[in-house]
Structure 1
Amino acid sequence: MEIKKRIYLIGFDLSGGLGLHRYFVDNGYSCTFGDEDGFSSRALNNYQNNLPLVTGFESCQFFTQIQHEDKNGDFIYTHERLLDSLIEEQPNALFIFNYLPVEKWLEQRASCYGYLPKTTKALGLSEAQVLEHWRDYYLAYYEKVISRLEGTENYFAYNHSNENESVLELTRFLASHGITLNLATYKPISEIRGSTDQRFHVQNIREAALYFRYHRFDIDTAINLLQEAEKHQPCRYYFKDELKKWKLEKKTWKSE
């Protein structure tokens, strides 16, 4: 398929990125997601080596959820770190800012993926302090995006809290730039969870492992679940790293 324009999803995690990724894929477009194919970490490496950010991904059109976890389990939001470079390097690209209102986003973050317990431990802060830390981060990045892109013809703000309306408006926006999507192919995230695409279910197993490790403090169940996820998707290096870490923790495990 001819690449008319590249499209970058530059918003927040837990704000509709997975659903939009599947929407693009189901319409036949080449699309990255997170670091499944290595783009997020590759883009950082390209930047550090003074190469075009899309080097190695020249045939890709949609870039969604440009983030990954490093070997320490830290979340790296490449699109945020490299936002200015993306805008300067890709002046003809389209930028979709997917977001939730700040309170809804904080609620999502506090309840998903083990974010809150991992961050409290990593930063040595209370849960209330972490939420304020996240709020400050959200507001600063939101302001940065708005100040750089609001009012430009290649920018679209996607409010995931109004999902149906936002998908319709996004589809119209992309059509105005010559990119056609069949609205009927869009599936809400709850329907994607029933997908026949194995990797989504493997990721769900990992999410369950994180829940049992950081919310229920059940190290045995967490290890068993993560072993199952790693068995079905052995290429994910952080599955192996987490397993190694958790097995070491188990030797001196005490109920938290």
Structure 2
Amino acid sequence: MADLIHPTALVDPAARIDPSVAIGPYTVVGPNVTIGAGTTVGPHCVIEGHTTIGRDNRIFQFASLGAIPQDKKYAGEPCELVIGDRNTIREFCTFNIGSPGGGGVTRVGNDNWLMAYVHLAHDCIVGDHTIFANNSQLAGHVEVGDWVILGGFTVAHQFVRIGAHGMTAMCSLLFADQPPFVMSQGQPAQARSMNFEGLRRRGFSPARVSAVKAMHKALYRDGLTLEQAQARIAALAAATPEAQPDVQLMLEFLGRVSPQRGIVR
């Protein structure tokens, strides 16, 4: 392990570092940090707090992971940051630990591509296979589903949810929940279409894509209330059994929408 850790790095003896982990010069690793096999950490990083990092991640220079939340209510509780496997975390990313009022854990899944200056505030939950372009910023308690793509300078208000397979344009500002498959743009963000090209690239069949189109029509084209749209979407599962998982994904998301926040329109 010593051969892979630069002599100028300050790694606390209590940190649990797999022997295959490489750590660059002037990086600081705290006592409550765990880093899994095959992960590389660039120079001038700070990894602190109760932070667990999985296997085969690539963390670039100047990242700050596991700092306390930017929450004035935080009083030193042992909250966590948990990062999965095979993530790319680029320069100047800042991921904070969770807070007692939000479950205590900030969590990043697997196979995510997080570009420079991405910020994940306390208690954010990020799924798998996402792409966050430069300067994407998530306030506290934001949830991001699998396969989401955030355009550069996207900002999400606290407690907002972004459903799986969604996408935002550059400089989008999200004050409301964005349902699965939706593409949004604007300040505040408005729904523009569904992410059809992304779905095709992920192997969605024509029948499944057609079902997503029907969900878009119910939510955004036919002047229905959210409850009416949910009823119409539910009927799609019987009409297109192949799309039942997609329908269920949408219904589960819509079932958790806050009346105060609503969905992007």
TM-score normalised to structure 1 length: 0.26
Which protein has the larger Cα radius of gyration, Structure 1 or Structure 2?
2
TM-score normalised to structure 2 length: 0.26
Structure with the higher fraction of residues in helix conformation:
1
